[in-house]
Amino acid sequence: MSEREFIVPVGPQHPALKEPESFLFKVDGEVVLDVEPRIGYNHRGIEKAMEARTYLQNLYIVERVCGICSNAHQTCYTQCVEEVLGMEIPERAKYLRVFMQELERIHSHLLWLGVAAHEIGFDTLFYYIWRDREVVMDLLEMVSGNRVNYAMPTIGGVRRDLEVADFPKYHKMLDTLKERTEYYIGVCSSEKTILERAIGVGYLSKEDAIRLSASGPNARCSGVSCDTRYDLPYLVYDEIPWNVIVETNGDVLGQVLVRVKEVLESVNICKYVLDNLPQGPIKAKYSPLGKVPEGEAVSLVEAQRGELIHYLQSRGDNKPYRYKIRAPTLGNIPSLVERLKGGFIADIPIVLAGIDPCFSCTDRMAFVDEGKDRRWDMTGEQLRRYGIRWYEK
Amino acid sequence: MALLTWARTRSPWLIHFNASACNACDIEVLAALTPRFDLERFGALLKGTPRHADVMVISGSVSRKVRDRLKRIYEQMPEPKFVVAVGSCAITGGVFQDCYNVMEGVDKVIPVDAYIPGCPPKPEAILDGVVKLLKSAGY
Amino acid sequence: MSVLEENIKVVEGLVKFLGKKNILESKVPRARRAFVSVPREQLIDAVKYLRDEEDIKHVTTISGVDTGEDFEVVYHLRKPDLSISVKVRAPYDDPVVPSITGVLEGAVLYEREVYDMIGVKAEGHPDLKRLILAYDWPDGVHPLRKEWDIQSLRKRVDGTEWGRK
């Protein structure tokens, strides 16, 4: 078997938002043998900066760790700090936090679905989905005042309240989302263009998903029933009726089905919250310059992409001594590598997009095909078009 | 010459570059291209390679690893070219100003022609910024 | 049996397995959270016990902390209904801990991150090299150590000083 060397560093830009990242692929002909991810383009030194700011100032930098999961990071942060403070937040605040988190899950999954459609070359679906996603963006703006980076959770509760008079409007918007999502489930399960690119592509078995500590929809599409909202319940997820969505396909189609069905689950949770919102205050008392007693806490939250963990060590100051954040995608990289092995070069864009990566990755992909002694670079866009052309044959 | 300017400003081809941003500005730039806000009515198309682009849209606080890439991409673009810095991180470093890995603003690395503030700026603000840039270029 | 009681049983089982003198600290502050502190020689045995007896196979992450007197490495593991954090310490002049990648493969990237940020080596790691910092970042400068603050880091790496003038 002859091996050829191709190095394909892909340019650090991608039309459908991707974060900067570099991959080194070892290929043999059209088949991928091994992958080495090179991350760190998005490293801003946040953990160090957090040690120099007060707890309330950190709320706003934590939000900007990732713009799509900003609410998840804030929920996790406030939970962590409140646990060390020993503070119990009011019931109404818990329900409102759940409401915001599920709305963000809807917006993120719809965004992902559009991007995945774009990766396959199905641009019409991309535009349709993003047009329908504007419904949830409007809802977010009505509730929190901003389309992205809502800053709703704060230490002690939430920052803004909902007006009962607006509930019928919210219900109507949620019903629209439900109807459109059901339409997209139908499209994704039956449209030949999608099925051809998605079935059997990027397969990961259940054993591998457990062995490599995968989490989130990435693991649930391979049959692993793990969801932080169910395993380690926080806020009021143990009071609200909802289901963990698990698919057994293990391939890209499984990723699509898990996420789209989760949108429906989230819509149901949001409607339940609106119908069962308890009365009461939305914030407990917290003084902005207050000191946090000595202690440590681990906070786990089910973000859109998987399991998110924050770890705080406090030494009795008004600034954290050590704050550790691990975003879900870092945990999903080993399983991503496993998915790519044995696949074709043409499948790389969709498998990469399949795990819903959220590290500023500049689609910089390098290919190494040991044998032909050639080093070759490909940009994300070229790779995407290569994949589309390859399947058209 | 006037004909060239007329043609160029009515079809600005964009390339979007994410220089270690948190993604919030990126999804608003992308939303600006979707049917509701529709940047494409100004002739703007999102291209995947710098060699075809007139305008580079940058979001994000430039980190150390990304800095050289950014310069290389800028050099790959043909003249005349424009650079738009989207979001407060691209303008001054934003909320990450005193982080050790962050350059304070894109204009410390390459020259910038338009600044669109916000965290993130709404798609309407991005449209406004691009239109102002085109006007200043002779639309 | 309530969740809290089950969690306490897990910790007690670990204490019994390693021997009381090998457990430096153990606490279950609330249901679903446990913290255990062990000497670094016992780390592999502790993780193996948790994997084989308690079915704890998922590594959430690994945190490195510069406590001011030495380095502390915290391994966050979990299974349904319990998140257990195993802590080990390594002195300043010997910042090495055994690698758990032989027991739990999911730890492979986290140990690289700890090496990059704090400078604690994981002995036995298949490919211990830089993960996050830039290629031209100077060796031996580990940002999350307490000897550096942001100003001195920028000066050391960039030659410039940050300042809002």
Q: Which residues of A touch C105 (CB under 8 A)?
A: 211-213, 334
Residue of chain A minimizing CA distance to C102:
A211
The DSSP H or E segment spanning B3 is: helix B2-9
Say if B11 is an interface residue toward chain C (CB within 8 Å): no
Contacts of C85 in chain A (CB under 8 A): 298, 311
The answer to whether the CB atoms of B23 and A45 lie below 8 A apart is no
Select from C154, C155, C161, C165 the residue whose CB has the most chain B CBs within 10 Å, as the one to mutate to test that interface.
C154
In a domain, A169, yes or no: yes
Q: What is the CATH number of the domain that holds A142?
A: 1.10.645.10
The reply to whether residue C150 touches residue A43, judged by beta carbons under 8 angstroms, is no
Q: Which of A273, A300, A325 delimits the end of a domain?
A: A325
d(CA A108, CA A305): 9
Q: Out of B64, B97, B104, name the one closest to residue C134 (CB).
A: B64
Q: Look at residue A13 and tell me if it is in a domain.
A: no
Its domain, for residue A221, covers 55-325
Domain shared by A108 and A37, yes or no: no
With beta carbons under 8 A apart, name residues in chain A contacting C81.
231-232
C160 pLDDT tier (thresholds 50, 70, 90): low
Task: Answer yes or no: do B23 and A11 touch at CB < 8 A.
Answer: no
Count CB pairs under 8 A between chains B and C.
20
- pLDDT above 80: residue A3: no
Q: Where in chain C is the domain with CATH 3.30.460.80?
A: 3-132
Nearest to B99 by CA among B61, B65, B71: B61
A17 in a domain, yes or no?
Answer: no
Contact C106 A212 (CB under 8 A): yes
User: Are B17 and A61 within 8 A, CB to CB?
Assistant: no
CB interface of C with A, residues 72-91, below 8 Å: 74, 76, 78-83, 85
Comparing CB atoms, the residue among C63, C144, C149 nearest residue A311 is C63
Locate the chain B residue with the closest alpha carbon to A49: B99
Domain B2-136, architecture per CATH:
3-Layer(aba) Sandwich (3.40)
Neighbours of C64 (CB within 10 A): 26
Quote the CA–CA distance of A171 and A274 in Å, as a whole number. 8
Specify if A6 maps to a domain. Answer: no
Q: What is the pLDDT of residues B42-98, one digit of tens each?
A: 888 888 778 888 899 988 888 777 787 788 888 988 988 899 999 998 898 888 887
User: Between chains, do C136 and B101 touch, taking CB under 8 Å as contact?
Assistant: no
Residues of C in contact with A230 (CB under 8 A): 80
pLDDT over 70 at A6, yes or no: no
Q: Which helix or strand (DSSP H or E) is residue C79 part of?
A: strand C70-79
Residue C162 has a pLDDT of 52
Nearest-CA residue of chain B relative to A151? B119
Q: Do A44 and B99 touch (CB under 8 A)?
A: yes
- Domain presence at residue A49: no
For residue B63, the chain C residues in CB contact (below 8 A) are 134
Which of 120-139 (C) contact B at CB < 8 A? 133-137
Condensed to tens digits (0 to 9), the pLDDT of residues C70-125 reads: 999 999 999 888 999 999 999 999 999 999 998 998 888 899 989 988 889 998 88
Burial of B137 (0-12, 13-18, 19+ CB in 10 A): middle
Nearest to B100 among C136, C150, C164 (CB): C150
- Check pLDDT > 80 for residue B101: no
Same domain membership, residue A149 and residue A67: yes
Q: Which CATH architecture has domain C3-132?
A: 2-Layer Sandwich (3.30)
Reported as a pLDDT band with limits 50, 70 and 90, residue A316 is: confident
What DSSP state is assigned to residue B102? B
Q: Are C81 and A232 in contact (CB under 8 A)?
A: yes
Q: Are residues A206 and A337 in the same domain?
A: no
Closest partner CB to C150 (pick from A52, A226, A298)? A52
Given a contact as 3+ CB pairs under 8 Å, which chains touch A? Answer: B, C
Nearest to C154 among B63, B65, B100 (CB): B100
- A2, part of any domain: no
Q: Are A143 and A103 in contact (CB under 8 A)?
A: yes
If phi over 0 gives left and psi between -120 and 50 gives alpha, with beta otherwise, what is residue A202? left
Q: Count of CB contacts below 8 A, A vs B?
A: 142
Q: Do residues A369 and A33 make contact, with C-beta atoms less than 8 angstroms apart?
A: no
A225 & A286 share domain: yes
The dihedral over CA atoms of B38, B39, B43, B48, expressed in degrees to the nearest 10, equals -110
The answer to whether the Cβ–Cβ distance between B26 and A381 falls below 8 Å is: no
Q: Is residue A386 over pLDDT 60?
A: yes
Nearest-by-Cβ selection for A131 from B30, B34, B102: B34
Name the domain count of chain A: 2
Assess B65–C contact: CB distance below 8 Å, yes or no. Answer: yes
Question: A9 lies in a domain?
Answer: no
Q: What DSSP state is assigned to residue A297? A: E
- Reply yes or no on whether the pLDDT at A331 is more than 80: yes
Render pLDDT for C5-58 as a digit per residue (tens, 0 to 9). Answer: 888 998 889 888 988 888 888 889 888 899 999 998 989 999 999 999 888 999
Q: Exposed, middle or buried: residue A156 (CB in 10 Å: 0-12, 13-18, 19+)?
A: buried
pLDDT band, very low/low/confident/very high, at A76 (cuts 50, 70, 90): very high
Q: Do both A355 and A235 map to the same domain? A: no
State residue A9's pLDDT score: 39
The whole-number pLDDT of residue A21 equals 57
- Which of A111, A360, A377, A385 to mutate against chain B (most B CBs within 10 Å)? A360
Contact A43 B20 (CB under 8 A): yes
Put simply, the answer to whether C59 touches A213 (Cβ < 8 Å) is yes
A346-360 pLDDT, tens per residue? 888 788 878 877 643
Tell me the C-alpha distance between B3 and A143, whole Å.
48
* Distance in Å, alpha carbon of B65 to nearest chain C alpha carbon: 5
Does the pLDDT of residue B118 top 50, yes or no?
Answer: yes
Same domain, A127 and A204: yes
Any CB–CB contact under 8 A between C154 and chain A?
no
DSSP state of A307: E
Q: Do residue A37 and residue A88 come from a single domain? A: no
Domain identity same for A87 and A236: yes
What DSSP letter does each residue of A162-190 carry, written as one string? Answer: --GGGHHHHHHHHHHHHHHHHHHHHHHHH
> CB contact, 8 Å: C152 with chain B?
no
Taking one residue from A and the other from C, the number of pairs with CB-CB distance under 8 angstroms is 90
Give the pLDDT score at B25.
86
Would you tell me which residues 77-106 of chain B have a C-beta closer than 8 angstroms to some C-beta of chain C? 97-101, 104
- Amino acid B30: pLDDT: 85
Residue C165 has pLDDT above 60, yes or no: no
| Contact with chain A for residue C144, Cβ under 8 A | yes
| Domain co-membership, A368 together with A244 | no
Residues of chain A neighbouring B63 (CB-CB closer than 8 A): 41-44
ipTM of the prediction: 0.91
